[in-house]
């Protein structure tokens, strides 16, 4: 194994905190991974990794070497692409918000893969916090402003939000003309994955944002269940408008307080701050931005 391949292997071990996982990612025997690291440490004359029964961690020298490896590997990939005209290639690991992916990413995915046949895409699906470095993920697609300072966030869309309810619910509770008329109303509570608490409803009123926490008999943590319970007349909900277009067309949900919308939701692609973007990650993010721009209606 040459020096560049050894650097790539070492970087993967640090990111995955595991010899075994790094070997699986790179399709190498576990024994080869161990031998390469042993030779690397012998050549450099320093201990790069601390091994325990649970995980592998870089030493101070190992962390410094890891950062240099990332920079060198990114520059090599950029240089080869520039001088050979090579197309981006290799395994690209992404983790996506599942509902967003189905609406905005998957429809154009065949075209992306046809334009970049050298890229292999591994897609994880969820809405949880992902440690990109530890889990070997290149980038994630999420709704909401990022709070992790170790990540770089590129906003690629702004989703219009609305308040909705079923006709049966409005027959029982009335159709409020403003947020001041919400006494006696109920909501379906959406539980925050970060805090475990119910999120209040939001209304833009008189140039300010007003938050209202209504009584609720049902709390949910998933987007599909949230909309399904609203169809059953269990309360008001607030979701991105694209999510309920079919319900609005069928009449199973109707807009409420349309003159007082919630704040729009930003969509971000996040990637590690300490990692230069490889060509395959860059073309994927650029393509994803274009897909959202083409499919999200312009907001007034």
What average pLDDT score do residues 238-262 get? 96
Average per-residue pLDDT for the chain: 88
Sorting pLDDT into bands at 50, 70 and 90, what band is 98? confident
Rounded-to-integer distance, Cα 219 and Cα 43, Å: 58
- pLDDT tens per residue, range 73-94: 877 877 776 665 567 878 888 9
pTM across the whole model: 0.70
Say whether pLDDT at 128 is over 70. Answer: no
What is the predicted pLDDT for the residue at 84? 56
**Res 300: pLDDT:** 41
User: Mean pLDDT, to the nearest integer, of 43-62?
Assistant: 89
Helix (H) and strand (E) counts for the chain?
11, 14
Residue with the bigger pLDDT between 273 and 251: it is 251
Ordered by where they begin, the domains of the chain are 3-84 (1.10.10.10), 90-158+266-295 (3.40.190.10), 161-263 (3.40.190.10)
Residue 135 has pLDDT above 70, yes or no: no
Q: What is the pLDDT of residue 26?
A: 87
Taking the C-alpha atoms of residue 78 and residue 267, their distance in angstroms, rounded to an integer, is: 28
Residue 219 pLDDT > 90, yes or no? yes
CA distance 188 to 253: 14
Give the separation between CA 127 and CA 66, rounded to whole angstroms. Answer: 29
Whether 298 has a pLDDT exceeding 60, the answer reads no
79-83, 99-103, 244-248: range with highest mean pLDDT: 244-248
């Amino acid at each position: 194994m040459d020096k560049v391949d050894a650097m790539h292997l070492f970087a993967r071990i640090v990111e995955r905190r595991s010899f075994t996982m790094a070997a699986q990612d790179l399709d190498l025997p576990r024994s080869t991974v161990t031998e390469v690291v042993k030779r690397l440490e012998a050549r450099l004359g320093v201990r790069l990794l601390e091994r325990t029964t649970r995980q592998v961690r870089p030493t101070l020298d190992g962390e410094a070497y890891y950062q240099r490896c990332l920079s060198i590997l990114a520059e090599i990939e950029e240089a080869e692409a520039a001088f050979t005209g090579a197309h981006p290639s290799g395994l690209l690991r992404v983790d996506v918000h599942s509902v967003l992916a189905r609406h905005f990413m998957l429809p154009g995915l065949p075209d992306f893969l046809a334009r970049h046949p050298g890229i292999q895409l591994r897609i994880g699906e969820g809405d949880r916090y992902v440690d990109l470095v530890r889990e070997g993920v290149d980038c994630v697609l999420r709704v909401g402003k990022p709070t992790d300072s170790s990540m770089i966030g590129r906003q690629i869309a702004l989703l219009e939000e609305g308040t909705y309810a079923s006709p049966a619910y409005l027959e029982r509770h009335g159709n409020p003309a403003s947020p001041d008329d919400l006494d006696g109303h109920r909501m379906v509570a959406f539980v925050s994955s970060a805090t475990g608490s119910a999120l209040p409803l939001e209304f833009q009123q008189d140039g300010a944002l007003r938050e209202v926490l209504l009584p609720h008999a049902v709390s949910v943590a998933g987007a599909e269940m949230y909309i399904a319970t609203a169809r059953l007349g269990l309360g008001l909900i607030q979701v991105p408008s694209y999510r309920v277009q079919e319900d609005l067309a069928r009449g199973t949900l109707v807009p409420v307080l349309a003159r007082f919308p919630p704040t729009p939701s930003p969509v971000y692609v996040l990637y590690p701050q300490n990692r230069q973007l490889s060509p395959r990650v860059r073309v994927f993010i650029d393509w994803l931005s274009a897909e959202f721009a083409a499919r999200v209606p312009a907001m007034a």
